[in-house]
C-alpha cells in the first residue's frame, strides 16, 4: 500500500481491505514498517492513536505492535529525517523479520508505506526499494484532487522503472461535498491515460473507524478483486 502523497487515505483503504478480507474468511495481517509522527496523531473516535493501531484492529491481530510496527518515531517527518533526529538506525533485517512473522499467520499481508513511493527510509533505501526487495505488488492510493494525474503518472513510471508491478490505483474521495471539475474528471482521465491498469474508486467515509462501513466501501468500490491471487 503506497500513495501519491501523505494524508490521502492509505490507512483508511488498508483498513477497509483488511476488514473486507476478514468478511471473506481470509486470514489477514498488516504492517506499517516505520511510522513517524506517532505522538502527534489525533486519537480517533475508536481511541486508536496511530495508523499501526488501526491496522492491527482492522486485522483482528493479536500480534505485538512491535511486529506490526517495528519502528515508531515521534516527529512527523520522512523516516530518514525522523530517525536521524531521534538517533535511530533503521535495520532492514528487523523489517524482514517482522514481515516473515506476519506471513506465518496470514493468507494476505498488507504493507503500508509512509507518504509517497519514493519517501526515503535512509540515504540508500526508499519505500519503492523496500517493496521491490519484498516482491510486493503495489496498490497505489491517490487522493482525488487537482494534481493527482501528475502524481499518479510519476508514481507509476517510477514503479515500472524499478520492475515493481502496480496491481491497482485506488482514487479516494477526500471530502464530502460536490466535486470540483478536476475531481469529477480525474477517474476517466486516469482510465484513458493508463488503459492497461486497474483503476478503482473509494468513497468518502464519515466513520473511518467503523470496520463494517469500511468493508462495505471496499466491496462497493470493487476492491474484492485485490484480495484474489488471480487479479492483475
Per residue, the 3-state secondary structure of 110-159, as one string, reads EECCCCECCCECCCCCEHHHHHHHCCCCEEEEEECCCCHHHHHHHHHHHH
Could you report the per-residue pLDDT of 120-138, keeping only the tens digit for each? 999 999 999 999 999 999 9
- CA dihedral defined by 174, 180, 182, 188, rounded to 10 degrees? 80
- CA dihedral defined by 214, 218, 220, 221, rounded to 10 degrees? 130
The three three-digit cell numbers of residue 40, written as one number: 502527534
Average confidence (pLDDT) over 139-153: 97
Would you say the C-alpha torsion 79, 82, 88, 89 has a positive or negative sign? Answer: positive
pTM recorded for the entire structure: 0.93
Report how far apart, in Å, the C-alpha atoms of 87 and of each of 39, 64, 90, 105 are: 17, 24, 10, 33
Tell me whether residue 145 is one of the annotated catalytic residues.
Answer: no
Active-site residue identified among 9, 14, 29, 32: 32
Could you report the per-residue pLDDT of 171-198, keeping only the tens digit for each? 999 988 888 999 999 999 999 999 999 9
**Look-up: residue for cell 506465518?**
104
The three three-digit cell numbers of residue 52, written as one number: 499501526
The three three-digit cell numbers of residue 56, written as one number: 492491527
Could you report the per-residue pLDDT of 86-121, keeping only the tens digit for each? 999 999 999 999 999 999 989 999 999 998 999 999
Amino acid at each position: 500500500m503506497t500513495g501519491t502523497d501523505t494524508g490521502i487515505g492509505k490507512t483508511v483503504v488498508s483498513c477497509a481491505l483488511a476488514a473486507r478480507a476478514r468478511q471473506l474468511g481470509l486470514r489477514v495481517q498488516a504492517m506499517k514498517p516505520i511510522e513517524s509522527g506517532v505522538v502527534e496523531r489525533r486519537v480517533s473516535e475508536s481511541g486508536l492513536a496511530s495508523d499501526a493501531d488501526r491496522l492491527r484492529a482492522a486485522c483482528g491481530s493479536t500480534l505485538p505492535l512491535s511486529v506490526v510496527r517495528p519502528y515508531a518515531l515521534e516527529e512527523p517527518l520522512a523516516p530518514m529525517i525522523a530517525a536521524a533526529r531521534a538517533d535511530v538506525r533503521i535495520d532492514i533485517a528487523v523489517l524482514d523479520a517482522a514481515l516473515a512473522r506476519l506471513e506465518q499467520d496470514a493468507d494476505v499481508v498488507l504493507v503500508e508505506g509512509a507518504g509517497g513511493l519514493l519517501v526515503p527510509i535512509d540515504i540508500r533505501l526508499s519505500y519503492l526499494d523496500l517493496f521491490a526487495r519484498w516482491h510486493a505488488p503495489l496498490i497505489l492510493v491517490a487522493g482525488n484532487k487537482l494534481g493527482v494525474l501528475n502524481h499518479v503518472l510519476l508514481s507509476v513510471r517510477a514503479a515500472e522503472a524499478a520492475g515493481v508491478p502496480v496491481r491497482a490505483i485506488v482514487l479516494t474521495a477526500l471530502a464530502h461535498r460536490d466535486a470540483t471539475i478536476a475531481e469529477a474528471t480525474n477517474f476517466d482521465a486516469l482510465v484513458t491515460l493508463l488503459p492497461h491498469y486497474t483503476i478503482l474508486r473509494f468513497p468518502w467515509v464519515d466513520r473511518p473507524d467503523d470496520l463494517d462501513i469500511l468493508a462495505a466501501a471496499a466491496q462497493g468500490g470493487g476492491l474484492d478483486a485485490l484480495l484474489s491471487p488471480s487479479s492483475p
